[in-house]
Copies of this chain bind each other. A is one copy, B any other.
């Protein structure tokens, strides 16, 4: 494989998680999504629920320079460090697909990592979140816009790059094109065929 490690960033409701699952299955490699959360929880000592929602909270490390070792860092930063360690370890071990968690940035020194981002028109995302994920919200547009902002804040804070902008990724797809066609395309680029 030209790219044994594939990172997939995504907008909530874009179908990016399904793409990741199918790519991993198609290539016969591991998917780190929920599994990653379990490993990070173990590494950091935080509860899985806390790890899971990490990019949903406000980043608070304004006084970063004041801390001298990782035990004194804000919880968010301790978690980021544990998470980066786990991402490096699992991707060193074997080919895999990693969902979210700034994995593209954590693995930026490697030349054999394929970075992908999935987005979708707002109407499609609302439909998917409401009808497929069965999430109940008063105002779906507001909910998704807020979620995008939180993911962007988290990513931008830790990477110094911009979440969802073209130049941060090798490949960006709108899921309007169809999940299966996107999966096939990623698999083909990963194999280098």
Q: Which residues of A contact B (CB under 8 A)?
A: 117, 119, 164-167, 169-174, 176-177, 181, 184-185, 188-189, 192
Counting every copy of the chain, the complex holds 2
Contacting residues, chain B, for A167 (C-beta < 8 A): 119, 164, 174
CB contact between A166 and one of B166, B176, B177 (< 8 Å): that residue: B166
Whether A171 lies near B173 (C-beta < 8 A) is yes
A172 to B164: give the CA distance in the assembly, Å: 11
Looking at A166, A167, A172, the one whose CB has the most chain B CB atoms below 10 A away is A166
**Once the chains bind, are B164 and A170 in contact (CB under 8 Å)?**
no
Given contacts A165-B165, A185-B185, contact A177 B172 (CB under 8 A): no
Contact of A188 among B170, B176, B185, B192 (CB under 8 A): B185
For residue A162, which residue of chain B has the nearest CB? B165
Q: Which of B169, B174, B192 contacts A174 (CB 8 A)?
A: B169
- For the complex of A and B, list the 3 residue pairs with the smallest distance between their C-beta atoms, beginning with the closest: A172-B172, A166-B172, A170-B174
- Hey, which chain B residues are within 8 Å of A189, CB to CB? 177, 181, 185
Q: How far is the CA of A10 from the CA of B38 in the complex (A)?
A: 41
- Partner of A171 from the list B177, B184, B192 (CB cut-off 8 Å) is B177
Contacts of A174 in B (CB 8 A): 167, 169-171
Instruction: Determine how close the nearest CB of chain B comes to the CB of A192; give it in whole angstroms.
Output: 8
Beyond A164-B165, A181-B188, list 18 extra A-B contacts (CB 8 Å): A119-B166, A119-B167, A164-B166, A164-B167, A165-B165, A165-B166, A166-B166, A166-B169, A169-B172, A170-B173, A170-B176, A171-B172, A171-B173, A171-B177, A177-B189, A181-B189, A184-B188, A185-B189
